[in-house]
Structure 1
Amino acid sequence: MKRLISLRRLSITTKQMSLQESGIQYLENLEFLGFQGCQNLRVLFESACRLTCLRELAIGDCAGPISLPFVELIALESLAIINCKLKLTQDNKSKFPSNLRMLSISQSEQVVELLQCLNESAYALEFFAIYDCPSFTAIPVWLSNHIRLRVIRFIRCPNLSSIPQEIQSITALKELRIEYCGELSERCRPTIGKDWPNIAHIPRIQLDLIWVQWMED
């Protein structure tokens, strides 16, 4: 595997607990890496990682917890976490990928813990989405510190109840989508919703698949 130095994209499924012997960590030109259905996987690499060109990482349906070498993924721009658990320590929380532009979290019971990582890093974030997370009950007020955010999506988070006033300070925000999030859609109804003043500045707003606001940039 380590001889495939020109490889750009790789998607795998494995029964192994560690990929240390696979040689994947030496693919210095790899740009996309995806793991799917790796129920036994716990550690990617335990030694030096040369994935300095890796821009996209997707992990789906892996029981975990999986330890990721965030500090060594210096080029990572897109991270998708789908129905799996990551091993988070105080150390790697503060070393969440600093260049991250896109973060998508789906079917995660540790969504709140993952979001705490954003409180300390990843201020280049432009796209932020959470899908199918009943444990996601509140949008953290510090999300407004991510002033480059352009797109936010909350899909099927039934216990999410409100939009904080601090969202008004994200002036770069261009699109907000809220789908099947219980009472939140009602709170965001144009002019009459309690949270409408907090989001009225966003040019494009979609509630339950209906565009309720559309303004050109």
Structure 2
Amino acid sequence: MNFDCEKLNSLDGNREDHVLGLGNLRVLMLRKLPKLEALPMCNLTSLDRLVIRECPQLTERCKKTTGEDWHKISHVSEICIDGVKTPEN
């Protein structure tokens, strides 16, 4: 399937349209989302694997220890950003 999500800038939705159930995700793969500004605000504690490709804003925000969203994913056992696996936490 091919989805045109190049304009997507948030996974949180707004007050009327929240993305529900992300807290139970085990695997999250985000690809070609150049305007996605941050990971969702919901709790991602069940996440085991995160793959981010071609999402420049997320790449910066998810940098190990220094990224603004690192605290949301530091527990994830497998993180791969633009083809590079993040070493063990």
TM-score (norm: length of structure 1): 0.35
Residue number among 47, 56, 59 corresponding to 1:182 in the alignment: 56
Match of 1:134 in 2: 6
| Residues 1:158 and 2:68 are matched in the alignment | no
Q: 1:86-165 alignment to 2 at 5 Å?
A: 106-108=2-4, 133-140=5-12, 142-143=18-19, 145-165=21-41
AA aligned to 2:9 is: T
List runs of 5+ in structure 2 lacking aligned partners.
none
8 Å CA contact 1:150–1:175 kept in 2: the answer is yes
8 Å CA contact 1:205–1:214 kept in 2: the answer is no
More strand, by proportion: 1
8 Å CA contact 2:27–2:47 kept in 1: the answer is yes
List runs of 5+ in structure 1 lacking aligned partners.
1-81, 83-105, 109-132
1:214 is displaced (CA, Å) by: 4.4
AA aligned to 1:170 is: L
1:199 is displaced (CA, Å) by: 1.2
Pick the structure with greater CA Rg. 1
Which structure 1 residue ranges, 4+ long, deviate > 2 Å from structure 2?
Answer: 141-148
Q: Percent identity?
A: 28
TM-score (norm: length of structure 2): 0.79
The answer to which structure, 1 or 2, has the higher relative contact order (CA under 8 A, 6+ apart) is 2
Match of 1:93 in 2: none
| RMSD (Å) for aligned C-alpha atoms | 2.1
8 Å CA contact 1:151–1:174 kept in 2: the answer is yes
| Residues 1:212 and 2:86 are matched in the alignment | yes
Mark the CA change 1:150 to 1:143 in structure 2 (over 3 Å): closer, same or farther.
Answer: farther
Mark the CA change 1:176 to 1:107 in structure 2 (over 3 Å): closer, same or farther.
Answer: same
Residue number among 185, 199, 207 corresponding to 2:73 in the alignment: 199
